[in-house]
Amino acid sequence: MASVTLRNIIKVFGDHVAIKGIDLDVEDSSFVVFVGPSGCGKSTMLRMIAGLETISYGEMKIGDKVVNDLPSRDRGISMVFQSYALFPHMSVKDNLGFGMKINGVAKAEIDNRAQAVADMLGLDPYLDRRPSQLSGGQRQRVAIGRAMVRDPDVFLFDEPLSNLDAKLRNQTRIEIKKLQQQLGATIIFVTHDQVEAMTLADKIVVLNEGRIEQVGTPMELYESPASRFVGGFIGEPSMTQLEGVMTDDGIVDCGEIRIPVPPQRFDLPAVGAPVTVGIRSEDILPVDQGEKPEFAAEFEAPLDFVEMLGNESLLFLNYQDRVLVSRVQRPKPMEIGQTLRFWIDGARIHLFDGETELSLLRKNDT
């Protein structure tokens, strides 16, 4: 396997700068996920690594080799596409071996490697079937197997699970992660699904408008988002964000909600400065279902909707025409329209500068 190194990578389409000077190190044998909203540049980045798009400026290395001008076939990569891209007239076995066949690999070697991959992915019973005779999950495993038989330095996945139903997507996600751990593979994986990113990645790269917003482990991004954008993008349900101003007593005034914050946790701005408060759903607590936090702000709001998730529920609240979401473990019975009282845990909130939108969390508190 190999590392991937990007230095000041820029991609220009006509007058549009799609990728705006990206620096990134993907370590050998790591699982890195590119995530971000549609149009942020994640698929363009993957296609440049694959050699399917040219690099306008900058330098890219796979291992110790500069690959800017190398064709895709010489980069030591294999790519798995969203659409599977299987040959419909070929059997599973022939799909697995096709890349080796056109590269002149001996038939015995093709058969051995295809069989080994089929055994690993549980495809042995389907080797004589055609793609139309397989389920979506089985076809995706064939696409992954076709990438594996080439024994690449780097695997590239372009939203490979988006065509699967929810249950199959979860199952295939687990299979891919186990496979990466088993092979010690370097994987770069593109998805728009931040839950997918959180569950798969060793390291997540959050992209926004052609730039990197933050790189870190899933928990680093969840617990210490570097910007308002990252805080709102990472996490399900999305972080509630309220506009406020700093007061002289260390409280964020959000109108009817005044949230006390521990001053040692943040580099607080001047009194009167605008800030954005980010609140995770688990930090909005029903007053009658837990202990009052040390830094607590109390408010009330009517219940709009309840989403049952088994041992927990999401309570959707209508607060001044804003939707706030509270995550509650084993909730008590409650009625839609009922006005409920909640605490916000001020020791767990996130603060973002109202102008730069960057986090105000102290670096030594991350």
Residues 81 and 10 in one domain: yes
Residues 101 and 148 in one domain: yes
274-279 β-sheet, strand order: 257-260, 251-254, 240-246, 274-279, 350-353
Look at the pTM and tell me if it is higher than 0.85: yes
| pLDDT tens column, 200-212 | 999 999 999 999 9
* pLDDT (mean) for 13-31: 95
Q: Rounded CA gap, 77 and 209, in Å?
A: 26
Residue where one domain finishes, among candidates 171, 202, 227: 227
The count of domains in the chain is 2
pLDDT band with cut points at 50, 70 and 90 for residue 301: very high
Residues 241 and 183 in one domain: no
Residues 154 and 257 in one domain: no
232 found inside a domain: no
| pLDDT tens column, 304-360 | 999 988 788 999 999 888 889 999 987 777 889 999 999 999 999 999 999 999 999
CATH number of 37's domain: 3.40.50.300
pLDDT at 366 over 70: no
Report residue 261 as tokens: 């914050």
What would you report as the CA-atom Rg of the chain, rounded to the nearest whole angstrom? 24
CATH number of 245's domain: 2.40.50.140
| pLDDT tens column, 250-291 | 899 998 899 999 989 999 999 999 999 999 999 999 998 778
Residues 126 and 56 in one domain: yes
| pLDDT tens column, 43-65 | 999 999 999 999 999 999 999 99
Which domain covers residue 193, as residue numbers? 4-227
CB within 8 Å of 357: residues ≥ 6 apart: 227, 228, 229, 276
Residues 297 and 201 in one domain: no
> Which residue in 186, 224, 180, 179 sits closest to 206, CA to CA?
224
End-to-end CA distance of the chain: 32
